[in-house]
Structure 1
């Protein structure tokens, strides 16, 4: 069959349907099967005029192709990459088997080998529940504190259901952030310096930090005069809502897993969760880094010696770091998360355009390419954050930095000639959610929370 005839066949509805079925089960293919699919993808891309754009594939399918292309080819340059054949399988080699749920849970504190997307499938769409329960057991929190596990489980399942099915701000992101916290606690000495109550608050804050996120930024909610923006005076709109919703779930008797804590511990838990979640607002990024840098310089890296309010700052910085850490994941995860956040922002831009509003710079499909946005996020936000946190978590940062360098190299390869983002990065891309206000917001002062 000639190439042109084969291409015409592959562009038929039945062939597209077959492709979509294979694509849906791509994670269950072994290495040779994935490589065979990749070769077909690559041939199709070259056959469509050599521009690498398969017009009948959706964005996720194109991203999948590029992710595997990048993993199997040399460093990108102006020329089209040439696929490298995988090494021959030794005689008698066994096809890699699929991971079990227990095997993925065993990787819960492993920064390199944990895969939240595999866990999402293994748990039937409940990765957050699995991550949080496993980490609280591993950290000894459930032994140290009188926590009814049935109520904790009920709370986490309710929280998982309360997440919206956004491209990015969903329960899988919350699970990924919470696992990042668990890995950070396990990798460095400060984890042992935190009390069981502080660890409980930290991991639960990770689990609920984007609870009920509507998929739009705070500024959009203020501009459209949303009720939630009016209720909190336009300040940390989403974050205030996340806290309120989490505490609302906790007030239900079947979810009240802190019911047996002493009143003072219960109040402290609520105060810590609120302080940490509010500080995930990117408007506080610069102020939080400056404040933490001063505290670290004054008190040193041993958290045991830190007084109460300084410890709150450490907890806030840990959650904030975990929240923005996905560019420091292994490259294939970083690429997926990068496209998901931009997909969500582009949807906001489309909505703004439909409402006749000025389109937020980073939400404009026409002028805010993914690669440019991710590269600037790494340089402006994540790298300075990790360099600061290194004073407290040197082992975690040592594991993360090579991935950040690889991610930056990948996104640079996608900008300009021969790259995915042929458009020159628009200056507006330097504006990120909340960045216009960086330095203008003081860190939220933790206040005693009302009883749940």
Structure 2
């Protein structure tokens, strides 16, 4: 490995392979949340560490945490969002007390596999180091819950961007642990929506995959005749999940404007090496804007 993590932490290579194979086999054949998506997130995390400016602020243990969190961040994902799991009182929601049921399950199930003797590639690592690694991974995977999105963007602005822009506040090559954690949380969020800065055709394909997965949840909601928590108690299908109405591919400009751009504007202000990602997002954004204009022109 380019990061020399196996040598650095005396990782058991056979058990490491067993762990990765078990994790890979635990990914469902969802249109979007599948093993290919996870591999893309791992690759994006690697690029952010090596070329995106993140590597200069973190050490080897944080690099291991970043790659490990990327590997497990969607383990056993079933294609339903957290809101659905909570509303249906799914076992994952019950187990997590409604707190990020997807992310909580990805973590707990992955760490159970890591406890298996044949998969515990960390068994030679000191316990204190293992505990710190576990905390980092938990903090990162929990950050992939989109419900935490704006809070993390806000923290990136207040705790990282302002410090980096202040010439008197040199955080150097060894920032505090809390800041390292925040950087890693931002990195996995950037990696997790990597299709937005992929080549145009790839971006279109994965946008359509996400749309189909969301529509499938809407199909299940129809079958369950789920009720809205409103006074009139009308039947409902979650926003953008009714395949009889426009889906996520029709809402991309708004998603970029209000969700994606605040994250990437802040991220690229902190890590100028990553500006190419924002340029690619802008190119894909222009495509969706043109499609939106075509739709309005045709209606007119």
TM-score (norm 2): 0.90
Distance 1:141 1:192 in 2: 16
Corresponding position of 2:229: none
Corresponding position of 2:256: 378
1:67-86 superposed matches below 5 A = none
Corresponding position of 1:304: 173
Corresponding position of 2:38: 174
The verdict on how the C-alpha distance between 1:279 and 1:423 changes in structure 2, with shifts beyond 3 A counting, is farther
1:116-135 superposed matches below 5 A = none
Q: Which has the higher contact order (CA 8 A, sep 6+)?
A: 2
The question of 1:196 aligning with 2:65 is answered no
Task: Tell me the SS of whatever aligns to 1:260.
Answer: coil
- Is the contact made by 1:325 and 1:382 (CA closer than 8 Å) also made in structure 2? no
Please, which of 400, 411, 417 is the counterpart of residue 288 of structure 2?
411
- Is the contact made by 2:48 and 2:54 (CA closer than 8 Å) also made in structure 1? no
Corresponding position of 1:368: 246
Higher mean C-alpha deviation, range 165-174 or range 408-417:
408-417
The verdict on how the C-alpha distance between 1:251 and 1:423 changes in structure 2, with shifts beyond 3 A counting, is farther
The question of 1:346 aligning with 2:215 is answered yes
1:283-322 superposed matches below 5 A = 283-300=147-164, 302=171, 304-322=173-191
Distance 1:303 1:229 in 2: 41
- Is the contact made by 1:236 and 1:281 (CA closer than 8 Å) also made in structure 2? yes
Please, which of 138, 147, 153 is the counterpart of residue 11 of structure 2?
147
- Is the contact made by 2:143 and 2:189 (CA closer than 8 Å) also made in structure 1? yes
1:242-261 superposed matches below 5 A = 242-261=106-125
Distance 2:181 2:142 in 1: 12
The verdict on how the C-alpha distance between 1:364 and 1:387 changes in structure 2, with shifts beyond 3 A counting, is same
Distance 1:228 1:371 in 2: 29
Distance 2:64 2:161 in 1: 27
Displacement of 1:360 after TM fit? 0.1
1:184-223 superposed matches below 5 A = 184-223=48-87
Distance 1:325 1:153 in 2: 25
The verdict on how the C-alpha distance between 1:148 and 1:305 changes in structure 2, with shifts beyond 3 A counting, is closer
Corresponding position of 1:329: 198
Displacement of 1:305 after TM fit? 4.1
Unmatched runs of 5 consecutive residues or more in structure 2: 166-170, 227-235
Distance 2:3 2:299 in 1: 47
Corresponding position of 2:278: 401
The question of 1:281 aligning with 2:281 is answered no
- Is the contact made by 2:19 and 2:121 (CA closer than 8 Å) also made in structure 1? yes
The verdict on how the C-alpha distance between 1:188 and 1:415 changes in structure 2, with shifts beyond 3 A counting, is closer
Which structure has the bigger radius of gyration?
Answer: 1
Structure number having the greater helix percentage: 2
Residues 167-219 of structure 1: CA deviation (Å, up to 9, x unaligned): 00011101101111111111144313321111001001011101011101111
- Is the contact made by 2:160 and 2:179 (CA closer than 8 Å) also made in structure 1? no
RMSD, aligned α-carbons:
1.9
TM-score (norm 1): 0.60
The verdict on how the C-alpha distance between 1:257 and 1:295 changes in structure 2, with shifts beyond 3 A counting, is same
The verdict on how the C-alpha distance between 1:422 and 1:284 changes in structure 2, with shifts beyond 3 A counting, is farther
Corresponding position of 2:232: none
Task: Tell me the SS of whatever aligns to 1:311.
Answer: helix
Displacement of 1:163 after TM fit? 0.7
Distance 1:377 1:417 in 2: 18
- Is the contact made by 1:190 and 1:392 (CA closer than 8 Å) also made in structure 2? no
Distance 1:274 1:185 in 2: 19
Corresponding position of 1:35: none
